[in-house]
Amino acid sequence: MVKTLGQIMLYVRDLDENAKFWKEKMGFERVEKVAWLDGDYIYIVSPLMNSEVQFVLQNKTKIEKLSPELNLQTPSVMMQTENIDKLYQRLIKNGVKANPIVEIKGLRFFNFSDNEDNYFAIKEV
């Protein structure tokens, strides 16, 4: 039985710049560069050091060559925050491309994109 999610793979063209986005613009606490055996590397990023779920940033060009059958599109990910207005203002100040906050049936959320135009969403809980 599956008990939790662990890691979500995000395939990006520029690992270093994407890791920088999550650290500097999004404020993620964990941005860890991990070496592979072949000399390449990945990044593990998460909003908190002890988050159960993490993003693993992988080299999209390399994975396309190794496994062309894989779907490397960005998954639809909904993150959560307790103060959406404060987070939204901080992200805008940090230069993150974000759409306005919307409310549908009491649910407040907005979406934003990383530096490679991959879109994610954040909802208020």
Q: Do both 43 and 14 map to the same domain?
A: yes
With beta carbons less than 8 A apart as the criterion, state whether 60 and 11 touch: yes
DSSP annotation of 23: I
The reported pLDDT for the residue numbered 65 is 95
Q: Do both 1 and 54 map to the same domain?
A: yes
Residues 66-95 have pLDDT tens digits of: 999 999 999 999 999 999 999 999 999 999
Which tokens go with 96? 């993150």
Q: Do both 35 and 86 map to the same domain?
A: no
Torsion of CA 41, 47, 51, 56, to 10 degrees: -20
Query: Whole-prediction pTM value?
Result: 0.93
Share above pLDDT 70 across residues of the chain, in percent, rounded to a whole number: 100
Q: Do both 57 and 112 map to the same domain?
A: no
47 backbone dihedrals φ, ψ, rounded to 5°: -65, -35
Which tops the pLDDT comparison, 15 or 2? 15
Residues 34-57 have pLDDT tens digits of: 998 888 999 999 999 999 999 999
- Spatial separation of the C-alpha atoms in residues 45 and 94, rounded to whole Å: 18
Which tokens go with 88? 């939204």
- Spatial separation of the C-alpha atoms in residues 70 and 93, rounded to whole Å: 36
Q: Do both 13 and 38 map to the same domain?
A: yes
Q: Do both 122 and 106 map to the same domain?
A: yes
Q: Do both 65 and 4 map to the same domain?
A: yes
Q: Do both 11 and 62 map to the same domain?
A: yes
Q: Do both 37 and 83 map to the same domain?
A: no
The reported pLDDT for the residue numbered 37 is 82
Domain span holding position 37: 1-69
CATH of the domain at 21: 3.10.180.10
Least Cα distance to 22 among 123, 84, 124, 112 occurs for 112
How many structural domains does the chain have? 2
The reported pLDDT for the residue numbered 118 is 97
The reported pLDDT for the residue numbered 38 is 84
